[in-house]
């Protein structure tokens, strides 16, 4: 059996404004009815595959469990990184965790934000690579290139790739090339795109770190040995993890190892590394126009128009080679050949201190989500959605009072020593400093409008007394 390890900690800044640090692209529905993360989990399930392991950040742990539950997948383990340290520590943590229970097991390392439409064909390639991985090879997956791409790493083989499928020896990793080099490799026919997907045995992976990155091995092993179990999550220990080098698996191990093989794959694949990739994967029409959400194109060509909210409508007139993405709080308009420069916009916004750089208007929590409708100096209006059976923490605030109006469903509200049911069109006032809680006892989502008033309205003005999700103090805990 093969155990997938889904890497789920990236921020996806090149797909801003849809993808942000608070809710990166892997959790979004970019190309279908499921998120990229859900599609990845489903693609790597079924015959020959064990339940997946996931490694992610603390802020995303409940999003991961909720999205997996929605597609009826129970994870084998969810590892929580104290902070991102790139792919080498993440992959090693997964290998050590799996090795502890299944020595020598096969592990498939896969980013959770890729698009591979033919799931069955990809699973066939993975199963075909298993004997090579069982023999001690570190197998990477290479994609048949169809253009001289400069935003991907490449893999060089000693001879033309065999797409039967059959694993072959890997000659070299090639970093992102310039346009001339990429065109030469494309025409040469002996190079593939590096998909960043690996199949390997846990003992071979650990041995590779022992040889090429022993300090990383010692640090990750310490972080796992000192890990704490929290509501079923495995929280890696912060002190040894924070001391780790920020390094990719390619740099730490793969480019130095001598037991490398590649499994060529000639099916469709994309890492959705920019809006130009989303345009390609969205199925442009005969004019090269791709539409997402409520948008209309008039006399446009080779253009992507996406509106992300139902109450918006985006209109493009006479556009050529343009990307336009509209969110409630930010709009991106860029030339298609500048798609990779979107991260520069994020950097500029961060320098200006703009919230749009990293946070969405909608904030996802383990109990549901909320979004700010109006924000002013001394008041804020929110829409709050609480899932059936979910409950916010028992909490208080130092700087604000709150007025709740239920507009859908029924809320069970605690205010100090009083507990009451509040139904649609009813309201309740939460005085400043009162200890309070909101719960949804029903079987459908409960929606309320919250009006906050006070001298400070930040999300970090929360003192938690009880929390069913075992969160600490602070905005998200």
Name the nearest CA neighbour of 268 among 158, 125, 395. Answer: 125
Q: Which residues have CB under 8 Å from 105's CB, separation 6+?
A: 1, 3, 98, 99, 201, 202
CA–CA–CA angle 36, 90, 129 (5° rounding): 70
Pairing mode, if any, of strands 154-157 and 191-201?
antiparallel
User: Dihedral of the CA atoms 119, 120, 125, 128 (nearest 10)?
Assistant: 150
Q: Is residue 446 a contact partner of residue 410, using CB atoms and an 8 Å limit?
A: yes
Quote the distance between the C-alpha of residue 61 and its chain's center.
11
How does DSSP assign 439-462, residue by residue? E--SSS-EEEEEEEEES---TT--
Superfamily in which the 362-466 domain is placed by CATH: Jelly Rolls (2.60.120.10)
* C-alpha separations of 334 from 174, 320, 323, 337, 341 in Å: 29, 11, 5, 8, 9
What is the pTM for the complete model shown? 0.88
Q: Is residue 132 a contact partner of residue 162, using CB atoms and an 8 Å limit?
A: no
Say how many C-beta atoms besides its own lie within 10 A of residue 79's C-beta: 25
Pairing mode, if any, of strands 322-326 and 331-335?
antiparallel
The CATH number of the domain covering residues in 2-265: 3.90.550.10
Domain regions of the chain by residue span: 2-265, 281-348, 362-466
Gyration radius (Cα) of the chain, Å: 24
* C-alpha separations of 427 from 82, 407, 441 in Å: 40, 9, 17
Helix (H, G, I), strand (E, B) or coil at 141: strand
Q: Is residue 193 a contact partner of residue 143, using CB atoms and an 8 Å limit?
A: yes
Q: Could you list the pLDDT tens digit for every one of the 477 residues in the chain?
A: 999 999 998 777 899 999 998 899 999 988 888 999 999 999 999 889 999 999 999 889 999 999 999 999 999 999 999 999 999 999 999 999 999 999 999 999 999 999 999 999 999 999 999 999 999 999 999 999 988 888 889 999 988 888 888 899 999 888 889 999 999 999 888 999 999 999 999 999 999 999 999 999 999 999 999 999 988 899 999 999 999 999 999 999 998 899 999 999 999 999 888 999 999 999 899 999 999 999 999 999 999 999 998 889 999 999 999 999 999 999 999 999 999 899 999 999 999 999 899 988 888 889 999 999 998 889 999 999 999 999 999 999 999 999 999 999 999 999 999 999 999 999 999 999 999 999 999 999 999 999 999 999 888 889 999 988 887 776 665
């Amino acid at each position: 059996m093969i155990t997938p390890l889904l890497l789920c900690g990236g921020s996806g800044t090149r797909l801003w404004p849809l993808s942000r640090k608070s809710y990166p692209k892997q959790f979004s529905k970019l190309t279908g009815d499921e998120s990229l993360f859900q599609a990845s989990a489903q693609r790597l399930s079924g015959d020959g595959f064990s339940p997946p392991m996931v490694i992610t950040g603390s802020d995303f742990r409940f999003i991961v469990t909720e999205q997996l539950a929605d597609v009826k997948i129970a994870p084998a383990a969810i590892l929580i990184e104290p902070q991102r340290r790139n792919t080498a520590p993440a992959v090693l943590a997964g290998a050590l965790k799996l090795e502890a229970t299944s020595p020598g097991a096969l592990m498939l390392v896969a980013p959770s934000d890729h698009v591979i439409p033919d799931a069955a064909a990809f699973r066939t390639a993975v199963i075909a690579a298993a004997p090579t991985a069982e023999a001690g090879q570190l197998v990477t997956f290479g994609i048949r290139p169809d253009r001289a791409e400069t935003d991907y790493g490449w893999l060089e083989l000693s001879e033309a790739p065999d797409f039967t499928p059959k694993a072959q020896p890997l000659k070299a990793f090639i970093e992102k090339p310039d346009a001339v080099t990429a065109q030469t490799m494309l025409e040469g026919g002996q190079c593939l795109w590096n998909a960043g997907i690996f199949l390997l045995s846990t003992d071979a992976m650990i041995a590779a770190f022992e040889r090429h990155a022993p300090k990383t091995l010692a640090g990750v092993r310490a972080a796992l040995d000192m890990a704490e179990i929290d509501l079923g999550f495995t929280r890696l220990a912060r002190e040894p993890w924070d001391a780790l080098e920020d390094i990719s698996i390619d740099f730490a191990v793969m480019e130095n190892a001598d037991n490398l093989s590649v499994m060529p794959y000639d099916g469709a694949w994309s890492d959705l590394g920019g809006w130009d990739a989303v345009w390609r994967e969205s199925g442009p029409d005969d004019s090269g126009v791709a539409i997402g959400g409520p948008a209309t194109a008039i006399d446009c060509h080779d253009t992507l128009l996406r509106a992300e909210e139902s109450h918006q409508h985006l209109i493009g007139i006479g556009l050529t080679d343009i990307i336009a993405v509209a969110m409630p709080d930010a709009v991106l308009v860029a030339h298609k050949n500048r798609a990779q420069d979107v991260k520069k916009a994020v950097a500029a916004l961060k320098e200006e201190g703009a919230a749009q750089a990293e946070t969405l208007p909608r904030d996802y929590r383990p109990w549901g989500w909320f979004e700010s409708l109006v924000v002013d100096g001394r008041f804020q209006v929110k829409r709050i959605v609480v899932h059936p059976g979910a409950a916010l923490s028992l909490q208080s605030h130092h700087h604000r009072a709150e007025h709740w109006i239920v507009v859908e469903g029924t809320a069970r509200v605690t205010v100090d020593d009083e507990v009451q049911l509040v139904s649609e069109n009813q309201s309740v006032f939460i005085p400043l400093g009162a200890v309070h809680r909101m719960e949804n006892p029903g079987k459908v989502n409960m929606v309320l409008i919250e009006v906050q008033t006070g001298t400070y309205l930040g999300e970090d003005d929360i003192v938690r007394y009880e929390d069913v999700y075992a969160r600490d103090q602070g905005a998200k805990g």
